[in-house]
Amino acid sequence: MQKHIYNSVGEQSCCSIEDNNNKHVHSNELKDSHHEAGLFSMYAPGLFSLVLLLAGMHFDYWNTFFWFNGWIRLAWYIIAYIPVGFPVIKNAYLGITKGNIFSEFFLMAIATLGAFAIKEYPEGVAVMLFYTVGELLQTLAVKRAKSNIKTLLDQRPEVATVLKNNNAVEMAASEVAVDEIILLKPGEKAALDGILLSEKGTFNTAALTGESMPNAKVKGDAVLAGMINLNTVVQIKVTAAYEDSKLNKMIVLIQNAAAQKAPTELFIRKFARVYTPIVVGLAIAITFLPYFFAHEYIFRDWFYKALIFLVISCPCALVISIPLGYFGGIGAAGRNGILVKGSNFLDVLASVQHVILDKTGTITEGVFEVQDVKIIPAEDRDKILQMVNAIEFHSTHPVATAIHNYVGNTTTIELNQVEEISGHGMKGFVNGKELLVGNFKLLSLHNVSFDIDPVSIKNTVIAIAFDGKFSGYITIADNIKPFAAVAIQKLKQMNVDVTMLSGDKLTVVDSVADQTAISHAYAELLPDDKVEKIKSIINKMQTVAFVGDGVNDAPAIAISHVGIAMGGLGSDAAIEVADVVIQDDNPIKIPLAINIGKQTKKVVWQNITMAFAIKAIVLLLGAGGIATMWEAVFADVGVALLAILNATRLLHFQFK
């Protein structure tokens, strides 16, 4: 493999436990009773119509009665039709009043009322009954998909154990205030976000990341709602209300993602608005045109064929199953710790040809450690390090954290006029004297001379200058993430090109590229340089995904076709900026996200192809006089149900 490394020139009231439990039991009983009432109201009309239809067909075909004739027979079927037909006719009327004349409700109303007009009463009731059953099952499928997603993510208990005056009190998690202290026993799930007050603890973070590997935390680390305590009792100080937890934001994000429509979905909706009036026009033509050509024209026969045509042509299988397919894909991604902000981004992921990776925090851990310190003169070491530590308190870069960890978090240095120079480092004044901390380019910009060759230093280097003089440097190293090389390999196996961009020095970028087998890597880039590189790749007609931290790389995310943020678990800003958020910082989720996009698009097109193929076959059979209303019902409701079943399997698909 030929490798190309370039530099920037070429790159949430306290109550007793018993009262609390009684309250929750009562709450659950209310939920169950409402759920049962809701199900009854959904099923009752269909069951009533089904009983009357079966009885009517029994009187018609198997055990005839003299009285079941004329207006009695008609009234019987009308009564059977009303529970399932009235809501459809009502929706058709409301659609017409709003300018949406040619809806699927309109088609089914015409077809079934037409069947009554030619005295095919059982078929008219049957078509509307099965259409209603199909719509009911579609509604249940959507509810189940949403419920599955919520179950996958909303792992929070409704009760939390709060420490009040050194007493453990159970109370509703939604009533726990910020800054209160909660206790978490081994095996319990955290109900709210907070910080660990105990010295250490180990947690299962699967609810947030999709990975069940133990996650060791120490005092001061964040513990989020949904995490499971694995060993000793720990104390956690609440930092966010119940409804403001990271987990709740994830749930809202995924459940609202369906509002962002994919191009295929938008096309089908636009297609249905054009397709339906054409279908009505063709049905009218099927009814009347044969009058001019048929040797023996019988209106009833051709009208019946037109009604069959209308039932077959109903586009509900496409209009319902396609968005459900995308919703299934969003749910599958969520289960794997990947948040996708809309079905449109699933489509983009499916077509990604080029993945551009930021180095720090994406390929590497983003956890730097100081390796070497060279201060000139040596006797000024402590003073210089204290000044460097003080100015780095104004930065959120991982390098600043490494320096704080090395020097300590206390400083008495007073700084003035502190500013961050993008792509270069920090500048400030101590007692009126200029302090520069950053890369060697920063020193050159301020005319500070140095006799060090930056290229000869392998690790990331932080240059220091004080009062216009070179004061030495600090070297810092970062570790490559365990699955980074595997992720790159999988992307290449999917025929996706990979490029790494970094503001780090050439030798560091070269080393990371070597260890991960990245073919194209660019070093020493300023934020603007990264944007230009992405633009040049986009100009080659390639669909680009940019992967970064979601904050510092906002311009790059903005111009790419899909922006993927790593480490969204700890960053609200990442969730706001990116189109896709990988919760656990694992680069292996990048090819997984692309695979989920591809599988979702595959299922959607399977549904489109199946719906059109079956409808076309039954249409031909109907034109030949072979298909009846019963086959037409299958071509409509049956196809819709098959498409829904195909779409919902995405929620349970095992992605590798």
Residues 125, 53 contacting (CB under 8 angstroms): yes
- Supply the mean pLDDT for the chain: 80
HEC sequence for 164-228 = ECCEEEEEEHHHCCCCCEEEECCCCECCCCEEECCCEEEEECHHHHCCCCEEEEECCCEECCCCE
Distance linking the first and last C-alpha atoms of the chain: 26
Average pLDDT of span 86-98: 88
Report helix, strand or coil for 499: strand
Average pLDDT of span 581-600: 90
Query: In sequence order, what are the residues at sequence separation of 6 or more whose Cβ sits closer than 8 angstroms to the Cβ of residue 327?
Result: 142, 145, 146, 257, 258, 343, 647
For residues 410 and 117, the model is more confident at: 117
Residue 545 scores a pLDDT above 90: yes
Residue 22 scores a pLDDT above 60: no
Q: What are phi and psi of 621, to 5 degrees?
A: -65, -40
pLDDT at 558: 75
CATH topology of domain 159-244: 2.70.150
Using the 8-state DSSP alphabet, how is residue 498 labeled? E
Average pLDDT of span 539-543: 87
Residue 207 scores a pLDDT above 70: no
Domain residue ranges in the chain: 159-244, 338-364+480-598, 369-477
pLDDT-above-90 percentage for the chain: 18
Separation in Å, CA 322 to CA 44, 316, 318, 632, 644: 28, 10, 6, 21, 8
Nearest Cα residue to 329 out of 226, 390, 258, 383 = 258
**Residue 547 is encoded by which pair of tokens?**
């992967």
Residue 52 scores a pLDDT above 50: yes
Question: Of the ranges 105-114, 393-402, 511-520, which is most confident?
Answer: 511-520
Average pLDDT of span 337-362: 88
Question: Is residue 9 very low, low, confident or very high in pLDDT (cuts 50, 70, 90)?
Answer: very low
Residue type, 339: L
Residue 15 scores a pLDDT above 90: no
Q: Does domain 338-364+480-598 have CATH number 3.40.50.1000?
A: yes
Look at the block and give the residue holding tokens 């295929």: 264
Average pLDDT of span 560-575: 72
Cα 613 to Cα 631: distance, rounded to the nearest angstrom: 14
Residue 175 scores a pLDDT above 80: yes
Of 94-103, 252-261, 487-496, 583-592, least confident by mean pLDDT is: 252-261
pLDDT at 156: 64
**Residue 549 is encoded by which pair of tokens?**
């931290």
pLDDT at 81: 93
Using the 8-state DSSP alphabet, how is residue 396 labeled? -
pLDDT at 10: 39
Sign of CA dihedral 402, 403, 408, 411: negative
Rounded to the nearest 10 degrees, the angle between the axes of helix 398-407 and helix 381-392 is 140
For residues 558 and 603, the model is more confident at: 603
Cα 348 to Cα 504: distance, rounded to the nearest angstrom: 30
List, as one string, the DSSP characters of 423-453. Answer: TTEEEEEETTEEEEEE-HHHHHHTT------
Cα 290 to Cα 300: distance, rounded to the nearest angstrom: 12
Residue 5 scores a pLDDT above 50: no
pLDDT at 236: 93
Please give the distance of CA 179 from its chain centroid, rounded to a whole number: 31
Task: Single out the catalytic residue among 358, 478, 549, 636.
Answer: 358
Average pLDDT of span 575-587: 80
Told to judge if 358 belongs to the known catalytic residues of this protein, a careful annotator would answer yes
Q: For the range 454-460, what are the long-range contacts, defined as Cβ-Cβ under 8 Å and sequence gap of 24 or more?
A: 454/505, 455/505, 455/506, 455/507, 457/505, 457/507, 458/507, 458/508, 458/511, 459/371, 459/372, 459/508, 460/368, 460/399, 460/504, 460/505, 460/508
Residues 397, 439 contacting (CB under 8 angstroms): no
369-477: CATH architecture: 3-Layer(aba) Sandwich (3.40)
Cα 181 to Cα 469: distance, rounded to the nearest angstrom: 50
Cα within 13 Å of Cα(524), Cβ side = 17
* Residues in a beta bridge with 182: 162, 236
Separation in Å, CA 647 to CA 322, 331, 596, 604, 653: 8, 11, 13, 7, 10
Residue 489 scores a pLDDT above 90: yes
| H or E segment and range at residue 62 | none
Average pLDDT of span 325-351: 84
pLDDT at 314: 73
Average pLDDT of span 369-384: 88
450-483 per-position pLDDT tens digit: 988 888 887 888 999 998 999 999 998 888 888 9
Residue 268 scores a pLDDT above 90: no
